[in-house]
C-alpha cells in the first residue's frame, strides 16, 4: 500500500477530480477509472507491497507488455497509457509522486484508422428518417440535424440548455472537453428542425414528467435530460434507412461534418475551431479522408483512370 494512503483511495480522489473539476464525460470517467484500477491490480500482483511513489517507467512498460501478450489492440493500450499519464500527473500535482513515470513511455505503434464518413446522400437519408408528427420524431429530427450541422460531440449535445442558443446569429455556445467553451454555427435546416421541436414537442415531453423544467434543450420521453446513450439509440433506430449495413454513431456525423466542410473548400483551422480540437494535428486526419474521397471520385469518374484499371 502507498504510504500516503492505499492505491485505490487515490484512484477515487482522481475520479472525483475528473467529475467535479474537469467535468469529464461519464464514458471518460468510467474508462479512466477502469484502466487505472487494472494497473493497480497489476502492481499489487507483481510488486507487492505496491506504492504509487515507487512506480518507475519500467513498471508501466511491463504493464503494457502484458496487455500486448493478452492480444489487446494497440489503440486500447494507447488509451490505457493516456489514462495513466493523466493519473500520475494528478498525483504529481498533489506531491504523491516525484515525477510522472508514464510520460516517458511510448505506446505501441498502430496503423491509423481513417474515420468512417457518410456520403452526402447517406446523411440526407439519415436526417430525413424521423418522419412522424409525434414529439419524439420532432426531437429526433432536431438532434440529427444539429449533430451534422455543428459537428459537436454527443456529450456536448446532451449538455445544451435553451439559453445556449443565439437565434439572431444561428450560433450555439458549447461546453467542450476540459470545460472549454466555443461557438458553433448551424444553418437553415437545423434552425427549422429546432424551431419545430421547441414550438410544441419539447413542452409535450416536459409535461410527461414530474420534474421542474431545468432548461435542458433535449428531453427524453419522461421529460428529463436526454443521455448520451439515448442519443446513440436514436441514431441506431434510423440506421436501417442507410441500406448499406453501416451502423452510424454520433461521431460518424461529426466525422462527416468535418470532411464535407473540407471537401467544400473550408480551411483546416476553421474546421479545427468548429470541432474544438486543441491541436491542429488532430484535425489533420480529415485531410486524409478527403484525399481518399478525391481518389475514389477520380477513379470512378475520370476516363483515363478507368482505362488504367482495365489494363
Asked if 122 and 162 count as a contact pair (C-beta separation under 8 A), the reply is no
The 8-class DSSP code of residue 309 comes to H
For 245-305, the DSSP string reads S----HHHHHHHHHHHHHHTT--HHHHHHHHT-SSHHHHTHHHHHHHHHHHHHHHHH-HHH
Q: List the catalytic residue out of 153, 202, 225, 255.
A: 153
Q: List the catalytic residue out of 61, 177, 182, 232.
A: 177
277 is catalytic: yes
153 is catalytic: yes
Tracing cell 454520433 back to the chain, one arrives at: 250
177 is catalytic: yes
Q: Is the peptide bond before 49 cis (omega within 30 degrees of 0)?
A: yes
Q: List the catalytic residue out of 141, 254, 255, 260.
A: 254
Dihedrals φ, ψ of 244, to 5°?
-105, -10
Q: List the catalytic residue out of 32, 90, 197, 286.
A: 286
200 is catalytic: no
237 is catalytic: no
Q: List the catalytic residue out of 80, 139, 260, 277.
A: 277
Which cell numbers hold the place of 247?
451502423
254 is catalytic: yes
Which cell numbers hold the place of 99?
515525477
For 126-191, the DSSP string reads HHT----SSHHHHHHHHHHHHHHHH---HHHHHT-BGGGEETTTTEEEEE-GGG-EEEEE--HHHH
List active site positions.
Answer: 153, 177, 251, 254, 277, 286
Amino acid at each position: 500500500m502507498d504510504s500516503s494512503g492505499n492505491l485505490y483511495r487515490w484512484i477515487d480522489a482522481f475520479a472525483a477530480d475528473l467529475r467535479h473539476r474537469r467535468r469529464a464525460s461519464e464514458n471518460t470517467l468510467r474508462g479512466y477509472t477502469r484502466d487505472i484500477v487494472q494497473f493497480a491490480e497489476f502492481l499489487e500482483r507483481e510488486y507487492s507491497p505496491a506504492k504509487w511513489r515507487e512506480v518507475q517507467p519500467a513498471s508501466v512498460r511491463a504493464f503494457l507488455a502484458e496487455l500486448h501478450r493478452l492480444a489487446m489492440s494497440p489503440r486500447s493500450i494507447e488509451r490505457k497509457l493516456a489514462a495513466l499519464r493523466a493519473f500520475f500527473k494528478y498525483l504529481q500535482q498533489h506531491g504523491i509522486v516525484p515525477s510522472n513515470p508514464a510520460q516517458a513511455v511510448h505506446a505501441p505503434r498502430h496503423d491509423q484508422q481513417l474515420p468512417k464518413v457518410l456520403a452526402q446522400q447517406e446523411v440526407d437519408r439519415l436526417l430525413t428518417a424521423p418522419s412522424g408528427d409525434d414529439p419524439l420524431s420532432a426531437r429526433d429530427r432536431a438532434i440529427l440535424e444539429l449533430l451534422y450541422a455543428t459537428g459537436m460531440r454527443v456529450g456536448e449535445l446532451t449538455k445544451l440548455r435553451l439559453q445556449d442558443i443565439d437565434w439572431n446569429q444561428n450560433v450555439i455556445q458549447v461546453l467542450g472537453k476540459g470545460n472549454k467553451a466555443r461557438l458553433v454555427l448551424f444553418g437553415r435546416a437545423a434552425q427549422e428542425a429546432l424551431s419545430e421541436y421547441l414550438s410544441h414537442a419539447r413542452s409535450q415531453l416536459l409535461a410527461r414528467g414530474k420534474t421542474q423544467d431545468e432548461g435542458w434543450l433535449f428531453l427524453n420521453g419522461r421529460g428529463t435530460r436526454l443521455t448520451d446513450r439515448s442519443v446513440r439509440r436514436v441514431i441506431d433506430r434510423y440506421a436501417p434507412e442507410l441500406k448499406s449495413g453501416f451502423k452510424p454513431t454520433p461521431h460518424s456525423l461529426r466525422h462527416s461534418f468535418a470532411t464535407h466542410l473540407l471537401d467544400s473548400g473550408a480551411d483546416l483551422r476553421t474546421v479545427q475551431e468548429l470541432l474544438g480540437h486543441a491541436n491542429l494535428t488532430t484535425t489533420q486526419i480529415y485531410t486524409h479522408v478527403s484525399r481518399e474521397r478525391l481518389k475514389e471520385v477520380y477513379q470512378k469518374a475520370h476516363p483515363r483512370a478507368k482505362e488504367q484499371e482495365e489494363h
